[in-house]
Amino acid sequence: MQQISSFEQYQQQYKHSVEKPEEFWAEVAGSFVWTKKWDTVLDWNFTEPKVKWFDGAQCNMSENCLDRHLETKANQTAIIWEPNNPNETFRSLTYKELYEEVCRFANALKKIGITRGDRVCIYLPMIPEAAIAMLACARVGAVHTVVFAGFSSSSLSDRINDCDCKLLITADAVYRGEKKIDLKKIADDALLQTPGIKNCIVYNHRDSPVLMMEGRDIWWTDAVKDCSAENVAEAMQAEDPLFILYTSGSTGKPKGILHTAAGYMVYVAYTFLNVFNYRDKEVFFCTADVGWVTGHSYLVYGPLLNGATTVMFEGIPNYPDHGRFWDVVDKHKVNIFYTAPTAIRSLETYGEAVFKSKDLSSLRVLGTVGEPINEEAWHWYHRNVGKENCPIVDTWWQTETGGVLISPIANVTPLKPAFATLPLPGVQPVLLNETGEEIHGNDVQGNLCIRFPWPGMARTIYGDHNRFHQTYFSTYKNYYFTGDGCRRDEDGYYRITGRVDDVINVSGHRIGTGEVEDAIDEHSLVIETAVVGYPHDIKGQGLYAFVICTGTITDEESLRKEIGKIVAEKIGAFARPDKIQIVAGLPKTRSGKIMRRILRKIAEGDTSNLGDTTTLLDPAVVEQIKAGAL
Ligand code: WTA
Contact (Cβ atoms closer than 8 angstroms) between residue 13 and residue 409: no
- CA distance between the termini of the chain: 54
pLDDT tens per residue, range 490-537: 999 999 999 999 899 999 899 999 999 999 999 999 999 999 999 999
C-beta of 420 in contact with ligand 1 (< 6 A): yes
Average pLDDT (399-424) is: 98
Q: In sequence order, what are the residues at sequence separation of 6 or more whose Cβ sits closer than 8 angstroms to the Cβ of residue 437?
A: none
pLDDT at 590: 85
β pairing state of 365-369 and 429-432:
unpaired
Residue 250, pLDDT above cutoff 80? no
- Separation of alpha carbons 114 and 102, rounded Å: 15
Q: Is the CB of 394 under 6 A from ligand 1?
A: yes
Least Cα distance to 11 among 409, 486, 367, 405 occurs for 409
- pLDDT band of 393, cuts 50, 70, 90: very high
Are 400 and 257 a contacting pair, CB within 8 Å?
yes
In which band, very low, low, confident or very high, does the pLDDT at 390 lie, cut at 50, 70 and 90? Answer: very high
- Strand (E) or helix (H) holding 266: helix 261-275
Residues 93-151 pLDDT 10s: 999 999 999 999 999 999 999 999 999 999 999 999 999 999 999 999 999 999 999 99
Could you tell me the pLDDT band of residue 463, with boundaries at 50, 70 and 90? very high
pLDDT in tens, 349-388: 888 888 888 999 999 999 999 999 999 999 999 999 999 9
pLDDT tens readout for residues 470-490: 999 999 999 999 999 999 999
Please provide residue 144's backbone torsions phi and psi, each rounded to the nearest 5 degrees. Answer: -90, 150
d(CA 506, CA 445) in angstroms, rounded, equals 24
CB 147 within 8 A of CB 183: no
Q: CA 220, CA 167: separation in Å to the nearest integer?
A: 13
% the chain with pLDDT above 70: 100
Distance CA 321, CA 90 (A): 18
Closest CA to 170 of 215, 120, 136, 115: 120
Ligand 1: centre distance to CA 508 (Å): 7
The answer to whether the beta carbons of residues 255 and 247 sit under 8 Å apart is yes
Residue 607 has pLDDT above 90, yes or no: no
The Cα 535–Cα 17 span in angstroms is 38
Q: What one-character DSSP code corresponds to residue 409? A: P
Cβ 396 under 6 angstroms from ligand 1: yes
- Ordered DSSP codes for 114-169: --TT-EEEEE--SSHHHHHHHHHHHHHT-EEEE--TTB-HHHHHHHHHHTT-SEEE
Which CATH fold would you assign to the domain 507-627? GMP Synthetase; Chain A, domain 3 (3.30.300)
Which string of DSSP letters, residue by residue, matches 521-539? HTSTTEEEEEEEEEEETTT
**Mean pLDDT lowest among 33-37, 211-215, 418-422, 611-615:** 611-615
Strands (E), 537-603: 540-549, 579-583
Nearest residue (by CA) to ligand 1, atom 7, is: 371
Ligand 1 atom index nearest CA of 394: 15
Question: What residue spans in the chain does CATH classification 3.30.300.30 cover?
Answer: 507-627
For ligand 1, the distance from its centroid to the CA atom of residue 455, given in whole angstroms, is: 19
Q: Indicate the pLDDT class of residue 429, thresholds 50, 70 and 90.
A: very high
397 ligand 1 Cβ < 6 A:
yes
Greatest mean pLDDT among 351-365, 394-408, 583-597 lies in: 394-408
Asked if the model's pLDDT at residue 161 lies above 80, the reply is yes
Question: What pLDDT score does 368 carry?
Answer: 97
Write down the CATH number for the domain with range 7-486. Answer: 3.40.50.12780
Cβ of residue 428 lying under 6 Å from some atom of ligand 1? no
Contact 133, 203 (CB under 8 A): no
Predicted confidence (pLDDT) per residue in 4-37, tens digit: 999 999 999 999 999 999 999 999 999 999 999 9
> What mean pLDDT is predicted for residues 596-622?
86
pLDDT in tens, 30-86: 999 999 999 999 999 999 999 999 999 999 999 999 999 999 999 999 999 999 999
Strands 336-339 and 283-286 come out as parallel
Residue-level pLDDT at 2: 87
- pLDDT score of 31: 94
- Locate CATH 3.40.50.12780 in the chain: 7-486
Identify any residues that bridge with 543 across adjacent strands, giving them in sequence order. Answer: 533
| CA–CA dist 615, 432 (Å, integer) | 28
Answer whether residue 553 shows pLDDT above 90. Answer: no
Q: Where are the alpha helices (DSSP H) in 280-338?
A: 293-295, 302-305, 324-332
Average pLDDT over residues 589-608: 89
Cis-peptide, bond into residue 49, ω within 30° of zero:
yes
Distance 406 CA to ligand 1 centre (A): 11
Ligand 1 atom 20: the closest Cα is on which residue?
510
Nearest CA to ligand 1 atom 24: 398
pTM of the model: 0.96
Q: Is the CB of 501 under 6 A from ligand 1?
A: no
Q: Indicate if the pLDDT at residue 251 is higher than 80.
A: no
Nearest atom, ligand 1, residue 499 CA: 19
User: What residue owns the CA closest to ligand 1's atom 13?
Assistant: 372
Which pLDDT does position 108 carry in this prediction?
98
| Mutation test residue for ligand 1: of 396, 415, 419, 502, the one with most atoms within 8 Å of CB | 396
pLDDT in tens, 266-287: 999 999 999 999 999 999 999 9
What value, to the nearest 5°, has the Cα angle with vertex 62 and ends 56 and 64?
A: 70
| Contact 421 CB / ligand 1 (< 6 Å) | no
Nearest CA to ligand 1 atom 3: 372
pLDDT, mean of residues 317-339: 96
Tell me the one-letter amino acid at 387.
K
pLDDT-derived band at 612 (thresholds 50, 70, 90) equals confident
Nearest-angstrom CA–CA distance, 586 and 619: 10
Q: 187, 155 in Cβ contact below 8 A?
A: no
Return the HEC string of 334-364: CCEEEECHHHHHHHHCCHHHHHCCCCCCCCC
Q: What is the CA radius of gyration of the chain?
A: 24
